[in-house]
Amino acid sequence: MIDVQDGYFRLAGRETAMVLHVNESGRLEMVHYGGPVALSDAPFLRFHPLLTYGTELEDDQGNFPDHETLAWSGLGRGDFREPPLEVHFSDSAFTNEFLYDSHEILEGTCPMKGLPSGRGEGAQSLVIHMKEAARPLDLDLVFTLFPDEDVIGRRVRLINRGEEPVVLDKVMSTMMDLPGRDYGLLNLTGTWNREAHPVFRKLDVGRTVQASLTGASSNRVNPAFALYEKGTGEDRGRVYGFNLIYSGNHYASVEESPHHFYRVQAGINPEGFSWTLRAGETFESPQAVMTTTDRGFGGMSDHFHRFINKRIIPEAWQDRDRPIAINSWEAMGPRVSEGSLLKLAKEGRDLGMELLVLDDGWFQGRESDTAGLGDYSEDAKKLPGGLDRLARKVRDLGMDFGLWVEPESVNPDSDLYRAHPDYAIQSPDRTPILGRHQLLLDLTRTEVQDYIVDQVNGLLDRLPISYIKWDMNRHMADFFSPTCPAGELAHRYILSLYRILDRIFGTHPQVLLEMCSSGGNRFDLGMLVYAPQIWASDDTDPVERLTIQKGLSYFYPQSTISCHVSAAPHSQTLRQTPLPTRFNVAAMGVLGYELDLGRLSPVDKKAIQAQTAFYKDHRSLLQRGTFHRRDDLPDHQEGFAILSPDRREGVVLMAQRHLDHAGPAYDRLKVSQIDPDLSYMVRSRPQKCQLARFGHLLNYVLPPYLKGDSLPVAIAGRHMALDEGEFEGRMTGRALHEGIFLPDQFKGSGYDKKLRLWGDYGAQLYTIQALPEGEGEVEGESNDNE
């Protein structure tokens, strides 16, 4: 709820509260953001210095701007911390100070024109109207409370009430000052094939910045970040989480002042940004979202996951299971044909997959990534019956049909570019710089928007397509467009992209859209408003994916993370990993497969059939359950748990991310979030170890005339494998809180089907199911681990 009293505003969720205050000078103070407090507490939570000292400046009300904890600040009026707004007026003045004028409380949200935001059922909005102290420029601070998720949205509106234009050089979506708690910073950094790696660092006096200049939210640093107090873990400690519902160049900074306040702000990257706001015009920033909790990183993730699943994901895909895909790319690259695709679809269907995705290579001239992009007519040699016949045959096989497109880019070697070189973003006085042999189309041009909409809508209208993979494989450069000043191009590009997506998928809500940008180059809340899932990385090595998926999980639910099982050795790392590990890690998100199914051995095909059956049995839980990370494991291991909201069932992953060691230590399965008062059945998911993993050890058990590397043994290994890691036991939730011992790992000799034959990069899934009352732990029952 939002309530107001004596110049104080309180936005209260279930576990949190934000308190604002209009001070004597008219500036808006951030009095409190944290646990629930009463409005009557507000005066005692407010920091209000009595005297200035040294070189500090004092205003005419006896206040000291540089000492205040503010929710918005100006430039050139005594606050020497980083300002959230930089504006040039027509006379070149740049000082700005916005003071309180009025406020209003609205039910729901305040929709924006052209920008996505969180949906507002059950939400409330506080709009604080502020005016520039000396200029005809108004500022609206829009706070939206999503109470059930304990998330607050923040954005700004700037309205030019004057007759002269003003130039905006920087507009942040949010700014707040927090009292010092010796904070650390968590953010997600990386590059192509190594996205979303979590980085934890200690903050000190000065400014720490994370930003993107690629034209996208970027694989270099994700828009999401968090502040955490010293000693924070998964289930303990105060955390503040922030994100931005935006898909373009972003900026965030945390500045610790000499007085040990922390100023946090986020919004559009001001580098390369300049926006002319003419008389009577309004500029709206993207919506930033934030949450806080004293329940550690797990509590922050819980808030954001619930918010995204309820407020961000398209309504047509809320609480809806996602299909298991087989994607053609790693199976055949661009060398596709109707016959090979139908063969892949039939093999996929027989193994339990539900959706064939035809990736790159299907249109005319597309033999590699050097040509054809922009021309979306089918290659008649590859698809003599066109997409129509292929899609119909795939559907006749009982599979859904999906298609890869890259509508934002064009190859210079294409019919579209030869006809319309002006459609591409390029500087008229420079040779264009290429990325993957392609240029970006200038989406700010209405004729380009119409071309893309017509091409994609044409496919969706005539074909039985249930899924689109929308790719974008280069960064933005050569900032020039005849439609707008260069400083507006990057932002207008994103606004145009949102407009295109609205026009296409607003009329095709039944189509499952998956976003991709060279992997996770555009994994952000803005994209998730249109696409329920995003391709997290082109790296499908499960060891690498453990880090990538863990990083994303801090801020994004597993329902948004597209994860595929691929062939090993992996083309991204040349690492050999067991098939069970590849599935076990991919099952922690939206499962798919990306490999040549025809090359699989009979034993691997049987294993994949069991994998897809298991995933379907637990799909709703795996895709939309509550996600937890373990923080008590050694460095070489990783553990995730996905639990139902009532904590009666769950699936737990235990994985080894490093090379195995001789004589491995004992391992414990621990789920601290389970209900301690219930009794549970815990079982390992059945999996098998390939005979080839034993190498020459097979010589000790085979007849003398057979060797472990002989052809007969290799043939036998294609048809049989050894059971491993079998486990079943009934126990109380208290035992799972403490951690139960798992069966031994292989230690150099012997075999038992309960032995965990993990070796290098092994992993296993365990199911947890609450027992009906009266079927609890049996006295004397053991887990047979002795």
Residue range of the domain that includes 724: 637-770
Identify the H or E element spanning 301: helix 296-307
For residues 77 and 194, membership in a common domain is answered with: yes
Is residue 582 in a domain? Answer: yes
For residues 663 and 761, membership in a common domain is answered with: yes
Give me the pLDDT at residue 701, please: 66
pLDDT tens-digit map of 393-435: 999 999 999 999 999 999 999 999 999 999 999 999 999 999 9
Is residue 414 in a domain? Answer: yes
For residues 167 and 54, membership in a common domain is answered with: yes
One-letter amino acid for residue 502 of the chain = D
Give me the pLDDT at residue 225, please: 98
Output the pTM of the full model: 0.96
Segment 346-359 shows an average pLDDT of 98
Backbone phi and psi for residue 137, each to the nearest 5 degrees, phi listed first: -130, 125
pLDDT tens-digit map of 617-656: 999 999 999 999 999 999 899 999 999 999 999 999 999 9
Give me the pLDDT at residue 311, please: 97
For residues 25 and 114, membership in a common domain is answered with: yes
pLDDT tens-digit map of 318-344: 999 999 999 999 999 999 999 999 999
pLDDT surpassing 90 at residue 48 = no
Q: Which one from 538, 541, 604, 667 is the annotated catalytic residue?
A: 538
Is residue 723 in a domain? Answer: yes
Name the nearest CA neighbour of 12 among 123, 102, 128.
123
pLDDT surpassing 60 at residue 781 = no
Cβ atoms of 626 and 643 within 8 Å: the answer is: yes
Active site residue 101: no
Is residue 624 in a domain? Answer: no
The domain that contains 49 carries what CATH number? 2.70.98.60
Distances (CA, A) of 739 to 657, 726, 727, 735, 745: 20, 18, 15, 6, 17
User: Coil, helix or strand for 741?
Assistant: strand
pLDDT surpassing 80 at residue 168 = yes
Identify the H or E element spanning 737: helix 733-738
pLDDT tens-digit map of 246-293: 999 999 999 999 888 999 999 999 999 999 999 999 999 999 999 999
Is residue 626 in a domain? Answer: no
Report the C-alpha gap between 72 and 98 in whole angstroms: 8
Task: Give all strands (DSSP E) within 477-566, no chain letters.
Answer: 512-515, 533-535, 561-566
For residues 549 and 669, membership in a common domain is answered with: no
Q: Quick one: pLDDT band at residue 56, thresholds 50, 70, 90?
A: confident
Among candidate residues 585, 619, 653, the one where a domain is terminated? 619
For residues 336 and 405, membership in a common domain is answered with: yes
Strand partners, 682: 729, 768
Largest Cα–Cα separation, the chain: 98
Q: Quick one: pLDDT band at residue 301, thresholds 50, 70, 90?
A: very high
Q: Quick one: pLDDT band at residue 782, thresholds 50, 70, 90?
A: very low
Whole-number mean pLDDT of the chain? 94
Give me the pLDDT at residue 60, please: 82
**Least confident range of 367-376, 534-543, 645-654, 662-671:** 662-671
Tally of domains in the chain: 3
Give me the pLDDT at residue 785, please: 41
Identify the H or E element spanning 736: helix 733-738
Read out DSSP for 86-99?
EEE-TTS---B-EE
Q: Quick one: pLDDT band at residue 780, thresholds 50, 70, 90?
A: very low
Is residue 777 in a domain? Answer: no
pLDDT surpassing 80 at residue 73 = yes
Structure tokens given for 70? 């503010």
Among candidate residues 278, 312, 346, the one where a domain is terminated? 312
Task: Give all strands (DSSP E) within 480-615, no chain letters.
Answer: 512-515, 533-535, 561-566, 590-594
Cβ atoms of 646 and 719 within 8 Å: the answer is: no
Give me the pLDDT at residue 773, please: 83
For residues 444 and 516, membership in a common domain is answered with: yes
Is residue 318 in a domain? Answer: no
pLDDT surpassing 60 at residue 779 = no
Report the C-alpha gap between 433 and 437 in whole angstroms: 9
The domain that contains 729 carries what CATH number? 2.60.40.1180
Give me the pLDDT at residue 776, please: 61
Active site residue 538: yes
Read out DSSP for 389-438?
HHHHHHHHTT-EEEEEE-TTEE-SSSHHHHH-GGGB---TTSPPPPBTTB
For residues 125 and 49, membership in a common domain is answered with: yes
pLDDT surpassing 90 at residue 80 = yes
Q: Which one from 150, 302, 360, 471 is the annotated catalytic residue?
A: 471
25-28 long-range contacts, CB within 8 A, separation 24+: 25/59, 25/60, 25/61, 25/63, 25/65, 25/99, 26/99, 26/100, 27/63, 27/65, 27/68, 27/70, 27/72, 27/73, 27/97, 27/99, 27/100, 28/70, 28/71, 28/72, 28/100, 28/128, 28/130, 28/141
Distances (CA, A) of 366 to 358, 376, 382, 410: 13, 10, 10, 12
3-class secondary structure for 18-44? EEEEECCCCCEEEEEEECCCCHHHHHH
Structure tokens given for 434? 């290429």
State the helix-helix crossing angle for 579-586 and 602-617, rounded to 10 degrees.
20
pLDDT tens-digit map of 576-609: 999 999 999 999 999 999 999 999 999 999 999 9
For residues 292 and 329, membership in a common domain is answered with: no
Vertex 7, ends 84 and 119: CA angle to 5°? 60
Name the nearest CA neighbour of 512 among 386, 620, 355.
355
pLDDT tens-digit map of 178-220: 998 889 999 999 999 999 999 999 998 999 999 999 999 999 9
pLDDT tens-digit map of 18-45: 999 999 999 999 999 999 999 999 999 9
For residues 554 and 406, membership in a common domain is answered with: yes
For residues 588 and 711, membership in a common domain is answered with: no
The domain that contains 352 carries what CATH number? 3.20.20.70
Structure tokens given for 165? 């234009």
Cβ atoms of 194 and 541 within 8 Å: the answer is: no
pLDDT surpassing 60 at residue 459 = yes
pLDDT tens-digit map of 553-583: 999 999 999 999 999 999 999 999 999 999 9
Q: Other C-beta atoms within 10 Å of 71: how many? A: 26
For residues 515 and 469, membership in a common domain is answered with: yes
Is residue 716 in a domain? Answer: yes
β-strand pairing of 561-566 with 590-594: parallel
pLDDT surpassing 60 at residue 777 = no
